[in-house]
Structure formats: C-alpha cells, structure tokens
Amino acid sequence: MMAVLLSSCTSGDSANGKVQIEFFQNKPEAKTTFDELIKTFNAEHDDIQVTQVNPPDAETVLKTRVVKNDIPDIMAMGATDTYSILAQSDIFTNLTDSSLLQTIDPNYIQMLKDLTGMDEVTGIPYATNANGIMYNKTLFKEMGLDVPKTWDELIATAQKIKDAGEIPFYFTYKDDWQTSLPFNALASNLVGIDFYQERRDNKVTFKEKYREVAEKQLELMKYGHGDNFGKAYSDGNRAFANGEAFMYIQGTWAISEIRKANPNIEIGFFPFPTGNDASKIKLVNGIDSLFTIAADTPNREQAETFIAFLLKPENIGRYIDEQTLFSAVEDVKQDDPAVQELMPYIEQGKVIDFPDHYIPAAVQLNSIVQSFLQNQNIDNYLDTLDKEWDKVANRR
Amino acid sequence: MNKRIAPYYWMTVPAVILFFVFMTLPALQGIYYSFTNYNGFGKEYDFVGFKNYFNLFQDDNVGNAYWFTFKFAIVVTILTNILSLLIALGLNAKIKFRNFFRGIYFLPNILSVLIVGYIFNYLFSNVFPIWGQNLGINALSTNILGSESLAWIGIVIVAVWQSVALNTILYLAGLQTIPTTLYEASNLDGAGKWREFWSITFPLIAPFFTINMVLAMKNSLMVFDQIVALTNGGPGRATQSISHLIYTGGFEGGEYAYQSANSVIYFIVIAVISILQIRFLQRREMDL
C-alpha cells in the first residue's frame, strides 16, 4: 500500500523542450554516485534530461508500476528472480543485437540467459558483486592467523578464535536475507547451478543433494556470538567495523557501509572455502545491477545514449570505486585493497552465480533458511524446500 | 425535491461514488483476479476457476498465518481493553495535571506505527538485552524478536502500547456520559469503589466497551506495519500475519492472483467476526 503511494510520481515528457528520461534504480547505496554521473550527463546534453528515481523497496514499487503500465524508461536492478519474471513478461526492449553489449564480458551475458531461460538479451550487465568471507586484517595479524583456504582450515581458524574468547563470525540473522549468504556460497560450490534446471524438470530433490549444504551451514553456527538471531545487517556492519568479530560472511556491497562506521578498518576478503580442495573453489559472483529499457518507451534512442555514457570506462570506473563493486565492462579493474584477494578469481573466470536467483521468490527461501537455523532440523528443512518448491510450481 | 432533503443528497451521493470507485471497484477486481493465474504484471493470464482457493486450503503457510494472527488479535484485544479502561478510570479521577496526562497518553496514537516500530526494534536489539545481561535475567539477555517462540510477544507489546491510546480516549468519552448524581446516590447507600465500578460505571459504558472490542479486534486482525518494522514476518514465518503474507506473496513473490484469493477469504472472515462480535456484545448491552 505504501509502495503504491510512493510510486505515484511519474515522468512526463519535455517540460522545457528536452526529452525527459526516467532512470529508475534499486540501490540506495548508489544514489549519490548516480546523481553525480547524471549531473555530468545532463550538462553535456542539451536535448536530454535524465532524472533518477530511487524509492525504498524499489523492486516492489517497480512491480506495482508495471501493473499500472507506468514503466520507467530505464530500469536498473540486480539479476534476480524479479528481473527474470519481468523479462519473461516482455516489458523490456530486446537488446540482443545492441552495440551496447559489445564491451560487456560475455560470461555475464550468458548468466542472464541462464537466469531467464530466454535467448533474447534484455539487460545490460553493469556492475557485479561477490559474496565471501570478510575478515579484519589487523585482528588476524595480532593472533597470527592465516587466511583459510579449505573448509577444515576455516573451522580450525574459527575454533582458535573461539578458544581465545573472541567472536569468530558476526552473524546478523535477524534479517532473513543474511542467512542466505552462506547458503549461496555452499550451494553453488557443493551442488552447482545445473541443479535448478533439473529441479524444474523434477529430476532431483533438495533432499538428495542439499544435505551437505545444510550440515555445513549448521556447523558454522557454533562460532557465532551470543545473539545470532537478534542482530540485523546494520548492527553487524557497525560491530564488524568496531572490531568485535574476526570474520563476517558478507557481500562486497557492505564494504562502503563498514567504512562509513570506521574509515580506518583494514578489511580483507576471501572466497568461501566450501570444500577441502582449494583449487576447485569458485567465487560467488553475480550481477549487482543491470540496465533495461522499457519495451514501449518512445525515447529508446536517448535511453541508449545515457546507458552508453554510463558504460564509458571512466564512468563505470568511478562507479565501481565508490561502490566497491566489479565491472561487467571488460578491462575496467577494481583496485580497492580490500578485494584484491578476489580479483584472481574474477580475472580467471573462476566464478559462479548466486543460486538463490534461480529460486522463485514465492518460495521465500530466506525465511525457510532462517527458520532452519533456529530449529536445526535438517530433514524437516530439506522437506520444506522441496514442498514449497512444488507448491509454487503447481500454482503457476 | 424537498429543499430540506437536498443537502443530504449533496453529501451522500459524492461519498457513495468515491466509496464505490476506491473501495468497491478494487474489491471486485480482486475477486475477479482470484479466479485467474495473473502474476501482478505482464499482459497474459488464464482463468483457472477455483484452483487458487483449492491451493489455499493445502498451504500450511496460510494456516500458520491465520493461527498467528488470531492468537495475536485475541491477546492484543484483551490487553488493550483492560489497560485502556484502567488508564481511562485514572484519568477521569480528580488528579493533578489531568489534561496534561490525557495529552501524554494520547501521544502514541499520533506517532506513525512504522517509526514507533523501528524505535522499538532498536530497543529490543540493542537496549533491552543489555539491561537483561546486567540484571542477570537470561530470557531478556538476547533479542526476543530473534526467537521463533518469543517474537510475537515483542509485537504484542508494541501493538498494545500504541493502540491503548485511542481506546483510552473512547473510554474517557464514555465515562464523561455518566451523570455524577448516580455516584452521589451510591455513596449515600454506602457502596464501595469496587461495587460502584461493577454496578454503575461498567454497565453505563457498555456501548463504548462494544465499540472498543470491535475496533481493537479488527485493527489487530489487520496487523501489518508493526510486523514490517519489527520482524518482517520472521524468524522464519513465526510472526507472519495474514496481511503480511498477502503483501509479500502477492507483490514480492509475484503470486498476485493466488493472494487475491487469500484476501477474499480473509475479507469474509473479518466481516463475519465483526458482525458476530457486535451482535453478541450488543445483546449484552440490552440485558443490563
């Protein structure tokens, strides 16, 4: 209801002789960066005026606007289930042959095709993020700890920290989406993404394949703090910034928030060591934002001009610097010291997409995982995943 | 047309039109969509008959949401009415700064539920646990909103804290309607305070009791904002109310038609409960 009210501000055409382009994006963290980029763009173009719209809970607002057929000219969002459903509803322009895709890393374009199951490309991957384990370099040095490369090393490191009376992991499981971070790392490496295609065809079940994922996620819970389900994401960023914990299972998107709380913190980041063969571990690396153009916008050309501007190396470079993300445009490098340990994985393509992007939103994975971590019943959990998946599939 | 009647039409006709356009029409649309497989956007959908309704009764998430909502609504209704009646009696007595206190007690009703929720959320996660630890009370030393079995109590506390304000005002208004001569007479007869309350005060504010029970019940059956601000339905689905389920499933989950069916059923349930409540409580009023 709130979302409907918020969405009632719409873009009109040419109040001052310029073509008005509405740029709708879903990342509150990126608002200021986009504002600056848009300012430069508007100054360079006499005939186009871009306006940014960034409401809270943007994905839901966007869906309600689509219902009203009030679709923004350009939409930026993550490559999630929402993008997938909207793409399948044909509300985006088909960009398969667009020149905008020329500089984009083909791996990410393939990722979009896998996600939607369509041959057309309707989104232009822009920035990507990674999910792994963040650690406090200063604390690691003080205790003489090495960065763990395998699952056994990870548990041994956590045990050592716990024995010293400190907090190994800062869990922020009051927010249910936080519980899906270890799920994503474990599921992608231990089971893989192909599982979801087979699950759609009813060839496998979670019960057969996901036991190890569940066991390992449960094992980690032994190394939290006293109130794992009482702290939320923002509490965790603050606590980690203040050095309360050694490690933080998190995405790269949190780095800028943590630095706001403590600009001097020395952050390191390593891929989640899900198994004991270090050479096989892949980094969970998904599309953080992509651009789409409304299928029925009369201003497609102007929208493409704006996207081409954002894709210029200097502009995307600035964006990924300020947001600590990675570029989907080839040959634009992220040099932030915090994420240098992740760069080899991205450069060598040892990456894998977020598994939860392949699970229909109606299944509500996050709350299922959160509930499992509370009652710790693995059989019940795997049954619930299968049951909810089937129920949603039956309702479609 | 009679000149005296005309103004009534001027007032009612626009109201009827507005009500129809903004309330009845969307409700009818919702009923229409509940027989389709529409996902909320997109252009294509099919009619599926009663499939959504059939699936609703198989879905234990729906059952779970009904169970939570009813448990919550009953507890909140009872607590709200007891507390607000007590506060109203206190505020109606001859105490110093009476008007000042009346204003203070009404404040929670003016504040936005969302803001109150976020403030309490902060208190539950960062302030109360520290008190609990210092006092050595184990149950209080973690955030109760993070526990599947206790989180609903946190929401009850916030909901009652806020809804007591409005009900107190209604009870106060009721208390003002009682003529003081009745109390003078009972005083002469030697009735005690307790006797006075059960024999005079409570029967005479019966209509206010009815409306307060119905309002509190209806409001807490539709609980939504508190849940968004405090737990977002979690942990797991432990505090997911029906309206929260309809919102998250319908808009975030892309199951618009399915949740439309849910809301049609829910509408019927609330209407039936309110009617039964009013009939039952009004009959009680007449007996007295």
Note the ipTM here: 0.80
* pTM greater than 0.80 (yes/no): yes
Identify the closest residue of chain A to B50 by CA–CA distance: A395
Instruction: Taking residues A226-247, report their average pLDDT.
Output: 91
pLDDT category of residue B183 using cuts at 50, 70 and 90 = confident
Report how far residue B67's alpha carbon sits from residue B55's, in angstroms, rounded to the nearest whole number.
Answer: 18
Please judge whether A174 and B148 are an interchain contact, meaning their C-beta atoms are less than 8 angstroms apart: no
Strand bridging mode A124-136 / A267-270: antiparallel
Residues 6 or more apart whose Cβ sits within 8 Å of residue A212: A186, A190
> Which residue in B41, B51, B252 is closest to A86 by CB distance?
B41
pLDDT given at position A136? 94
Identify the closest residue of chain B to A366 by CA–CA distance: B236
pLDDT given at position B201? 87
Structure tokens at A64: 């309600």
Query: In chain B, which residues have their Cβ closer than 8 Å to the Cβ of A391?
Result: 55, 58-59
Say yes or no: A230 contacts chain B, CB-CB below 8 A: yes
- Measure the CA angle with vertex A379, ends A377 and A381; round to 5°: 65
pLDDT given at position B240? 92
Please judge whether B255 and A66 are an interchain contact, meaning their C-beta atoms are less than 8 angstroms apart: no
pLDDT given at position B287? 57
Query: Nearest-CA distance from B37 to chain A in Å?
Result: 7
pLDDT given at position A88? 85
Say yes or no: A296 contacts chain B, CB-CB below 8 A: no
pLDDT category of residue A10 using cuts at 50, 70 and 90 = very low
Say yes or no: A46 contacts chain B, CB-CB below 8 A: no
Report how far residue B178's alpha carbon sits from residue B146's, in angstroms, rounded to the nearest whole number.
Answer: 46
Instruction: Taking residues B63-75, report their average pLDDT.
Output: 93
Say yes or no: A59 contacts chain B, CB-CB below 8 A: yes
Report how far residue B54's alpha carbon sits from residue B50's, in angstroms, rounded to the nearest whole number.
Answer: 6
Please judge whether A391 and B258 are an interchain contact, meaning their C-beta atoms are less than 8 angstroms apart: no
pLDDT category of residue A3 using cuts at 50, 70 and 90 = very low
Torsion angle in degrees (nearest 10) through CA of B186, B189, B190, B195: -50
The pLDDT tens digits for A288-337 are 999 999 998 899 899 999 999 999 999 999 999 888 899 999 888 888 88
Please judge whether B146 and A228 are an interchain contact, meaning their C-beta atoms are less than 8 angstroms apart: yes
Judge whether A31 and A3 are in contact, CB under 8 Å: no
Query: Nearest-CA distance from B54 to chain A in Å?
Result: 10
> Which residue in A1, A60, A176 is closest to B232 by CB distance?
A176
Judge whether A338 and A324 are in contact, CB under 8 Å: yes
> Is pLDDT at A13 greater than 50 in this prediction?
no
Instruction: State the Rg of chain B over Cα.
Output: 23
> Which residue in A60, A90, A91 is closest to B251 by CB distance?
A60
> Which residue in B40, B59, B146 is closest to A227 by CB distance?
B146
pLDDT given at position B58? 86
Query: In chain B, which residues have their Cβ closer than 8 Å to the Cβ of A375?
Result: 148
Query: In chain B, which residues have their Cβ closer than 8 Å to the Cβ of A70?
Result: none
Please judge whether B234 and A360 are an interchain contact, meaning their C-beta atoms are less than 8 angstroms apart: no
Query: Nearest-CA distance from B213 to chain A in Å?
Result: 26
Judge whether A245 and A169 are in contact, CB under 8 Å: yes
Query: In chain B, which residues have their Cβ closer than 8 Å to the Cβ of A367?
Result: 233-237, 240
Quote the crossing angle between the two packed helices A211-220 and A365-375, to the nearest 10°. Answer: 60
Say yes or no: A367 contacts chain B, CB-CB below 8 A: yes
Residues 6 or more apart whose Cβ sits within 8 Å of residue A251: A129, A130, A131, A132, A181
Q: How many CB pairs under 8 A join A and B?
A: 120
Does the N-terminal peptide bond of residue B129 adopt cis geometry, omega within 30 degrees of 0? no
Instruction: Taking residues B132-138, report their average pLDDT.
Output: 82
Complete DSSP assignment for A38-94: HHHHHHH-SSEEEEEE--TTHHHHHHHHHHTT---SEEEE-SSHHHHHHHHTT-B--
Structure tokens at A224: 């939290």
Question: What is each CA distance from B200 to A189, B88, B173, in whole angstroms?
Answer: 73, 15, 16
Mean pLDDT estimate for chain A: 89
Interface of B with A (CB under 8 A): 37, 39-43, 51-52, 55, 58-59, 124-126, 129, 141-148, 231-238, 240, 247-249, 251-255, 258
Identify the closest residue of chain A to B60 by CA–CA distance: A388
> Which residue in A63, A85, A230 is closest to B143 by CB distance?
A230
pLDDT given at position A7? 40
